[in-house]
Structure 1
Amino acid sequence: MKSIKQLAEKNDLKNVITAFIKLIGLAKLSKKVNFKRKSVVSLTAVVSWLLATKFARHSLYRAQAAKEFTIRTARNVLNDGRINWQRLLCLAAKQLIARLKPVIDRRRRLALIVDDTLMSRSCSQKTELLAKVYDHNLQKFLTGYRGLTLGWSDANTFLPVNFALMSTGKPHNLVGHPAVSNDQRSVAGKRRCQAQRPMNTITLELIDQALANGVPAQYVLFDSWFSSPKMFWQLKQRKLDGVGMLKQSIKIYYRYRGRAYGVKDLYQRLAASNRKRKEHYLYSCVVEAHYQDHRFPLKLVFVTKRGNKSRYLVLATTQIQLQPAEIIQLYGRRWQIETYFKAAKQYLALNKSQIQDYDGLCGYIAVTGLTYDLLAWLERQNKDDRTIGDLFYLMNTALPDIKFLDALVYLIAVLQKVKKDINKQVAQTLANFLSYLPAGIRKVLRRQV
């Protein structure tokens, strides 16, 4: 696939969003995600307006109303409990992956990445299923949710694929109103039951939903929070190989050369042997893990913890054919989901929603994921290595830099005056420079030069 050229003058924000909506086929997906409204307002129109509102950095209460509908209509669509927002994000990611597949090397390992992030809501007390959530960074409980996210990566592009807004199953940790409905026959009821069950169980459900909707993957990457012999075994039953960081727990044992060891005891055993430490890792070995009556091999890699040579991390995978360097490289791809969380919170206001309805919050997360998909798609198509943050600000029309434009206009005007005296190569360089400028700057230059 040829690299798509820089956004032309006609491709303003509205046209970019329209092209993206057509790319994922949102009009056809509306029926598949159970969008049912008696009005003439389509899901495509509402989602397009929500994406534009994201780039304008406006909340739903301060955004500029669309010509076809009011802001209240958009909020009602988000709060509609019949819409399957999880499936919408899955199907949109599937369409983008299908577009990327022809340019992905067959040797590239496709992976799903799972992690959760804290979505704090300190000023809200009446939101449905709001709970006390433990923040591991601050070492204290905060009011909010856990945003469980499943992403897809080919090592170049990360796309959010599925999500679940997790609450708590313990009544004494519940702060907001209890669930309005737990009816498993409805989408809203399933969503609320999902929020109150264990996170590892929901992780497998999200993976099953992604696979059922056609998202291709060979591996699942996760940190120590999701890591356990049970998780590795259940992923293997789905024909997926897990790659995760092991907990250094004394309660979990692995069999190595006929004896059961905890992770710390196994490290001491390897350190006491005559094995030499490798350049990029400490030790590697194959052990036998067990879950209930099932026994299966795991390959462990002990890696020095960055910034503290006296401590180590333990990576594990059920794909024992991988070399230790390949396991380390594959697990390092997990950092892409952390980058998504940072971009979603910093640029897309993931944790700053004023919506009080639980269904509305799920819709808000789905729209945030679609916005990131749009930015990731543009980043993949651009020639230059532009970051998600740069793309976000380029598409934000509310941030012009007048002083810079004045200086640039003066520079171009001077260069064009002496254009006759310079050779063709410099003239071509000038033309190339102008063609690579963002569309907004080229508009100003053509008006003033």
Structure 2
Amino acid sequence: MSSIPQNYCDENELIDCVQRFFSRHHVGKLLAKCNGMKEKGVSPVSLLRYKLSNIFVGRSMYMQQRTGSFKEDFSKNTFYRFLNSAKTNWLRFTSLLAADIVNNDLKDLTDDSRKNVFIVDDSLFSRTSCKKTELGSKVFDHTDMHFKKGFRMLTLSWSDGNTLIPVNSCLLASAKEANIIGPVKNFDNRTIAGKRRKLAQTKAPEAMMTLLDTALSAGLKADYVLFDSWFSNPAQITAIHSKGMAVIAMIKKSSRIKYSYCGEQLNIKEIYSRNKKRRGRSKYLLSVDVMAGKENPIPAKIVCVRNKANRKDWLAFICTDTTLSEEEIIRVYGKRWQIEVFFKTCKSML
């Protein structure tokens, strides 16, 4: 009697797990809502299931064909046509799938007092060469403060403090034509392909609003939106507040961004220097109420804390929910770190 290898059993368990996931969350119906189905031929659901199974098993179609282990009933051309299809609205698909997971599986695991959040951040999606990559660009890497080839992957995630679910994402090329290395193709801006390419050349704060609108239209809800200083412009803060969500974000130490404080327009450095700081082992140094925005200003609270990396430096956070205590603002903003762990996991495992 021949023995069954352990890796063979593990692969079958992973494939069965993917199949159960597709059935539980009605992936076929969600794909149909996003223009991902077709009238005849191989079902796109089976193609997507095969793709996801390969990712978790650690195999590729190329190696399966080389080793003779490819046993699917579709051809290589069918598979790659599905991956390259510009008609499927993947942005809406991932948002609908995330909403189904959150609303049906995760929502009832925590009580109503727990605050759910949206987290927005970007990470470098590097490539060694961009000459033949559409819209491949020189983009700025905030980690080592250098320009690199590739894209910025702007990601929106949902979290309840324990679990993080990626909702949607988009690749951002450079908004400057001088930094674009790869070819630029023309598409009708009314089509999904045209909209995605237009979104890729949009500035990150504006693209963030598109991702939020897509998530809200899919049925996801959150109490707060968290992001770092790269997105914390007063225009974006007031725009998110108008959608019924509060913002907790780190503030840029910029002399051009000003807030209304005591009847004057002051930047964060001026506000910090004019006020007395808390001494001792307090969790924060300063807390002041300001008005953020130019046309329709909204009340907000600015909290300054010590920079743990440099005790002589300080960081500032802004929160549009003025009822929150300073300690609670700091605690809720700490949930933003989950997306950094998500980025590291994706780059090391996928």
The TM-score, its normalising length taken from structure 1, stands at: 0.71
Task: Choose from 173, 181, 190 the match for 1:175.
Answer: 181
For the 8 Å contact 2:138–2:181, the answer to whether it is kept is: yes
Distance change (3 Å), C-alpha of 1:197 and 1:323 = same
Match of residue 205 from structure 1: 210
Counterparts of residues 88-107 of structure 1 (less than 5 Å): 88-98=93-103, 99-107=105-113
Match of residue 321 from structure 2: 319
TM-fit CA distance, 1:252: 1.7
For the 8 Å contact 1:23–1:95, the answer to whether it is kept is: no
Counterparts of residues 300-339 of structure 1 (less than 5 Å): 300-339=302-341
Matched, 1:191 2:196: yes
Counterparts of residues 28-427 of structure 1 (less than 5 Å): 28-63=29-64, 65-98=70-103, 99-181=105-187, 183-271=188-276, 275-276=278-279, 279-291=282-294, 293-348=295-350
Superimposed CA distance per residue, residues 203-223 of structure 1 (whole angstroms, 9 cap, x where no aligned partner): 101101110110111211000
For the 8 Å contact 2:37–2:43, the answer to whether it is kept is: no
TM-fit CA distance, 1:339: 1.0
Distance change (3 Å), C-alpha of 1:173 and 1:59 = farther
TM-fit CA distance, 1:124: 3.7
For the 8 Å contact 2:87–2:193, the answer to whether it is kept is: yes
RMSD of the alignment, in Å?
2.0
Distance change (3 Å), C-alpha of 1:161 and 1:10 = closer
Distance change (3 Å), C-alpha of 1:119 and 1:60 = farther
Rounded to whole Å, the distance in 1 between the matches of 2:10 and 2:337 is 35
Superimposed CA distance per residue, residues 75-121 of structure 1 (whole angstroms, 9 cap, x where no aligned partner): 21110000011111011101101121122210111111111111111
Rounded to whole Å, the distance in 1 between the matches of 2:141 and 2:60 is 26
Distance change (3 Å), C-alpha of 1:270 and 1:30 = same
- Give structure 1 stretches of 5+ with no counterpart: 1-7, 349-449
Match of residue 22 from structure 2: 21
Superimposed CA distance per residue, residues 25-76 of structure 1 (whole angstroms, 9 cap, x where no aligned partner): 1111121010143543222211211111111223453356352223432221
Over 6 Å off, 4+ runs: 8-11
* Structure of higher CA gyration radius: 1
Identity of aligned residues (%): 36
**Bigger Cα displacement from structure 2, 162-171 vs 305-314:** 162-171
For the 8 Å contact 2:130–2:137, the answer to whether it is kept is: no
Structure with the higher fraction of residues in strand conformation? 2
- Give structure 2 stretches of 5+ with no counterpart: 1-8
One-letter code of the match for 2:241?
A: K
Counterparts of residues 430-445 of structure 1 (less than 5 Å): none
**Bigger Cα displacement from structure 2, 74-83 vs 260-269:** 260-269
For the 8 Å contact 1:65–1:71, the answer to whether it is kept is: no
Superimposed CA distance per residue, residues 133-155 of structure 1 (whole angstroms, 9 cap, x where no aligned partner): 11222322211111111110111
Secondary structure (helix, strand or coil) at the match of 1:299 reads strand
* Equivalenced residues, count: 337
Rounded to whole Å, the distance in 2 between the matches of 1:164 and 1:276 is 44
Secondary structure (helix, strand or coil) at the match of 2:331 reads helix
Secondary structure (helix, strand or coil) at the match of 2:32 reads helix
For the 8 Å contact 1:49–1:66, the answer to whether it is kept is: no
| Higher RCO by CA contacts (8 Å cutoff, separation 6 or greater) | 1
Rounded to whole Å, the distance in 2 between the matches of 1:315 and 1:65 is 53
**Bigger Cα displacement from structure 2, 231-240 vs 281-290:** 281-290
Secondary structure (helix, strand or coil) at the match of 2:222 reads coil
Rounded to whole Å, the distance in 2 between the matches of 1:9 and 1:82 is 35
Secondary structure (helix, strand or coil) at the match of 2:213 reads helix
One-letter code of the match for 2:322?
A: I
Rounded to whole Å, the distance in 2 between the matches of 1:22 and 1:96 is 12
Rounded to whole Å, the distance in 1 between the matches of 2:174 and 2:249 is 25
Secondary structure (helix, strand or coil) at the match of 1:321 reads coil
Match of residue 373 from structure 1: none
One-letter code of the match for 1:40?
A: G
Secondary structure (helix, strand or coil) at the match of 2:156 reads strand
Match of residue 6 from structure 2: none
Rounded to whole Å, the distance in 1 between the matches of 2:43 and 2:147 is 41
Rounded to whole Å, the distance in 2 between the matches of 1:66 and 1:288 is 63
Rounded to whole Å, the distance in 2 between the matches of 1:123 and 1:294 is 45
Rounded to whole Å, the distance in 1 between the matches of 2:142 and 2:159 is 26
One-letter code of the match for 2:334?
A: G
For the 8 Å contact 1:90–1:213, the answer to whether it is kept is: yes
The TM-score, its normalising length taken from structure 2, stands at: 0.91
Distance change (3 Å), C-alpha of 1:255 and 1:206 = same
Rounded to whole Å, the distance in 1 between the matches of 2:11 and 2:80 is 30
For the 8 Å contact 1:221–1:244, the answer to whether it is kept is: yes
One-letter code of the match for 2:159?
A: S
Rounded to whole Å, the distance in 2 between the matches of 1:113 and 1:300 is 19
Rounded to whole Å, the distance in 2 between the matches of 1:138 and 1:307 is 16
Rounded to whole Å, the distance in 2 between the matches of 1:320 and 1:18 is 46
Rounded to whole Å, the distance in 1 between the matches of 2:319 and 2:185 is 38
Superimposed CA distance per residue, residues 174-221 of structure 1 (whole angstroms, 9 cap, x where no aligned partner): 11110241x122111111111112221111011011101101112110
One-letter code of the match for 2:35?
A: N
TM-fit CA distance, 1:235: 0.6
TM-fit CA distance, 1:266: 1.5
